[in-house]
A and B are shown apart, each in its own frame.
Chain A
Amino acid sequence: MNITSISEENPSQGTPLLTLRGVRKSFPGVLALDSIDLEVCVGEVHALLGANGAGKSTLIKIISGFYKADAGELLIGDVPIEGNDTKGRQELGISAIYQDFALVPDMSVAENLFLGREICTPLGLIDWKQTHIEARRILDRVGIDVLPTDLVRDLSTGQRQLVEIAKALSIDAKLLILDEPTAALSQGEAEKLFALIHQLAKSGVGMIYVSHRLEEIAPLVDRVTILRNGKSVGTFPVDALDRQKVVSLITGNQESAKNKEHAQRQAGSVLLETRNLTRRDEFENISITARRGEITILTGLIGAGRTEILETIFGARKSEKGEIYLDGKQVEILHPQDAIEAGIALIPEDRRGQGVSETMPIFSNITLASLPNFVRGLVLNVERELVHAEKMIDNLAIKASHSKVQVVNLSGGNQQKVVLAKWLSTSAELYLFDEPTQGVDVGAKVEIYRLINDLAMNGKAVLVSSSDLEEVMEIADRIIPLRKGKVVGDLINKNLKPRDVIDFIVHGSSS
């Protein structure tokens, strides 16, 4: 190995742990990565930033051996590695921790830690005593407060994340790949994770930290590589970047996320009104309105009942009590079908679970909720569907070579756009958005805000659920704070301070 001295103060000048040269990867109809160079050194925290669809996920899947690169070199230390073999990579010390965790929920923490490499007695039975002692030791190393016998199902998201990291470390990971690790963590949990990352880096573990937001992790990071459209924009020392620069590098100088038409809109008539909507243990006596030409935001903490309310309006859940009125007329919505016929669209939070049909091509995803528009008699007019889909692909700048590409081949951000295209095709009057920018990068955020804004400008009623306060303040005309399933206010977003909204969602009233 080509050993140079490892400097304690500046680990990024240490020994390369991982080197990528000219890596390329394409999927049917999509060039995901093109000539990517990347170097991660011993003890370095290397941030990987980029918009949705920039190729971050593909890149880390190539590094962790999930995919095979079409071209280019991958070296661990100075040994070239080929092929796709996740197990082999783990043996070489590369561990990836993904957003969707690879833990088995119905097994205990200890069982998960030793899954596939169980500690056995000489008779070949599992040595539970030793397993639990070892598990305790591993858990202590990351400083997490759970018992080896706890079921993973009962852990919080943050705890699961730490268990995953503990597991990776216990198989002697030299390079950890963290994919948006704080996406689902509370503030406290995130701070704990950052402390752990810092400590690991000092002990020589190299890390690739995939994120949308540099501000959050800047103090931890040594170098930053930014991807855009499958190409590397460059690698920078973290000190050389500021927020403005990062945004422009990620988006390629799109305009920033400012909602300019905000003031020009005129709120119209009340389209949606709910009266005393109630579902036990979820929400109670919800009476809210949404006007045409206005963006109304339901905000609140997790468990405030936002998703549940939207799904009830959409007919995916049944209310036990209360009524829904559209344009002043009471409507009975028992099924999403009824909602769609009444002119309601719901863009769900859980994209893969409720948004896209991955094995279907883009065009039939886009037309799935508006098929009646493409039928003559009994027969579907597929040609018209294709024309429509191509138009939507252009309008929303969905990155795909043609509309028959299977959605599974698209990146997360482009899949989200397919979901948007699907609901824009329904010509609904009321749009419900559930956490529209959850896990979405700066660039896509701008586009989604613009889209929501356009809908309101065109006289649609828009009801958004969001827990992102910055987003709420940015796009809302009216804010409805929720707390524990109850409406605790109805605020006009004018001269409002974030502090005021927080008071409502935390305490239930303004101070």
Chain B
Amino acid sequence: MENRTQSANQNLVTGFLSRIDPATLGPSIALIVMFIIYTTLSPYFLTPQNLTNVLVQSAPLLILATGQTFALLMGGLDLSQGSVVSVVSVVTAGVMMNYGLELGAVVGLGAGISIGLLNGLLVGRARIQPFIVTLGTLYIAAGIAMVYSEGSSIFGLPEPDVDRFFWFGGGFIGPIPVPVLIAAVLTLIAHLILSRTRMGRHIYAVGSNEQVAVMSGINIVRVKIFIFLMSGTFAAIGGFLLSGRVISGQPLLGSGDILLQSIGAVIIGGTSIFGGQGGVLRTVLGVFVIAFLVNGLNLLSISTFSQQIIVGTIIILSVWLNSWRRQHG
């Protein structure tokens, strides 16, 4: 009897400790250190305006990285996210030109989501490595964006739809920026899917050991299709918000940093590239690390070239820290 109360106490303690995800320690400390340094060095850093700015600017990245988390959890990658952003941008703007925002959104997002579906079918049904599949669709989708827009940006979207379009990327509901709200809702949905649904559990199982997943009666083809559908859908929504912010269709909108930042954020957050371990909450931290890092460096007028060196270093450091932590308990 005494034994039982003792072990119950122990359960309480370990239960509390196990609630804190030890992988979040590294990025959390990085964020705190950054806040201290930036606040001392720049009077503009810790202002409501700056913080809101960072949140608005990082909303599309957060959405992409949240989708990317699904791919990494199965031990894969989605390299096509950036190209999906470009496709969504030009198709939405192009269709909007003649048929209005509603149809533009449906067709534009639909195009992006179809690329995710294609990825999923190729990974799940045809059993090709995610890296290869999405490397292929990275090129294909980038090409489609260029072909569709004939290589130039689509400006001059019709009034009043253009204002509504901008609302998604830069509008406000009361004091809350719309893209931040959308990103928060999507992140929450993704988190609930991963932590509270069968599909979520199946994703972890496939990432942890595919053979075990099969033998446990999991339909791994369906799981893989779902994963890339999520990653593609989230990239498409991210692309929609980005385009709204620049109120135009840009064939190169997703060809810059955003893909690598999306993967980098997931990794910095502490999701394992081998699959099976990690989650969306970690990714949120990873996105904040990148977003505040870049913002602070900008405020200190450190060039974007130097910033790249620092971001790269942080990615490697964070993975190193995580593997060190795992080895030394």
Q: Which residues on A are within 8 Å of B, measured CB to CB?
A: 26-29, 314, 316, 335-337, 339-341, 346, 348, 353-360, 364, 368-369, 371-372, 375, 378-380, 382, 401-402, 404, 422
Given A316-B215, A337-B217, A371-B198, decide whether A357 and B276 contact each other with a Cβ distance below 8 A: yes
**Of the candidates B18, B195, B277, which one forms a contact with A404 in the assembled complex, judged by CB atoms under 8 Å apart?**
B18
CA distance A354 to B215 in the complex (A): 7
For the complex, what is the distance from the CA of A379 to the CA of B275, rounded to whole Å?
23
User: Which residues of A sit under 8 angstroms from B107, Cβ to Cβ?
Assistant: none
Binds A, one of B60-68, B201-209, B235-243: B201-209
Assess A402 versus B18: contact at CB under 8 Å? Given A357-B208, A364-B204: yes
> Which of B7-15, B40-48, B49-57 has 4 or more CB atoms under 8 Å from chain A?
B7-15
Taken together as a complex, chains A and B put the C-alpha atoms of A358 and B216 apart, in Å, by: 14
A377 to chain B, nearest CB (A): 10
Residues of chain A within 8 A of B198, CB atoms compared: 371-372, 375, 380
| Chain B 278-309 per-residue mask, 1 if CB under 8 angstroms from chain A, else 0 | 00000000000000000000000000000000
Q: How far is the CA of A316 from the CA of B216 in the complex (A)?
A: 10
Q: Assess the A337–B11 pair: CB atoms within 8 A.
A: no
Contact between B216 and A336 (Cβ–Cβ < 8 Å)?
A: yes
Complex interface: chain B residues within 8 A of A401 (CB)? 10, 14
Alpha-carbon gap, A314 to B216, bound state (A): 10
- B205 and A368 form a contact (CB under 8 A): yes
Shortest distance from the beta carbon of B38 to any chain A beta carbon, whole Å = 35
Give the shortest distance, in Å, between B142 (CB) and chain A (any CB): 34
Give the chain B neighbours of A379 by CB distance below 8 A. Answer: 196-197
Which chain B residues in 7-40 approach chain A with CB under 8 Å? 10-11, 14-15, 18
CA distance A43 to B274 in the complex (A): 44
B214 at the interface (CB under 8 A from A): yes
Given A28-B329, A401-B10, A402-B14, A378-B215 contact (CB < 8 Å)? no
B28 to chain A, nearest CB (A): 19
Q: Which residues from chain B contact A354 at a C-beta distance below 8 Å? A: 211-212, 215
Check if B197 sits within 8 Å of A357, measured CB to CB. no
Asked if B219 CB lies within 8 Å of chain A CBs, one says: yes
With contacts A360-B208, A402-B18 known, is A348 near B215, CB below 8 A?
Answer: yes
For A348, list chain B residues within 8 Å (CB): 215
Contact A353 B197 (CB under 8 A): no
Beyond A27-B329, A335-B217, A380-B197: 5 further Cβ-contacts under 8 Å? A336-B216, A340-B217, A359-B274, A371-B198, A378-B197
- Residues of A near B18 (CB, < 8 A) are 402, 404
**Contacts known (A357-B209, A358-B209, A360-B276); A337 close to B14, Cβ less than 8 A:** no
Residue contacts A-B, CB under 8 angstroms, 27 given: A29-B14, A316-B214, A337-B218, A340-B217, A341-B217, A348-B215, A353-B211, A353-B212, A354-B215, A355-B212, A357-B276, A359-B274, A359-B277, A360-B208, A360-B276, A364-B205, A368-B201, A369-B216, A369-B217, A371-B201, A372-B198, A375-B198, A380-B195, A401-B10, A402-B11, A402-B15, A402-B18
Contact of B182 with A by CB under 8 A: no
- Chain B residues 159-199 with CB under 8 Å of chain A are 195-198
Bound-state Cα–Cα, A404 to B10, Å: 13
Q: Which of chain A's residues has its CB closest to B19's CB? A: A404
Q: How far is the CB of A356 from chain B (nearest CB, A)?
A: 7
Closest to B22 in A: A28
Q: Is B272 an interface residue (CB 8 A)?
A: yes
How far does the alpha carbon of A335 sit from the alpha carbon of B197 in the complex, in Å? 22
* B24 nearest CB across to chain A (Å): 16
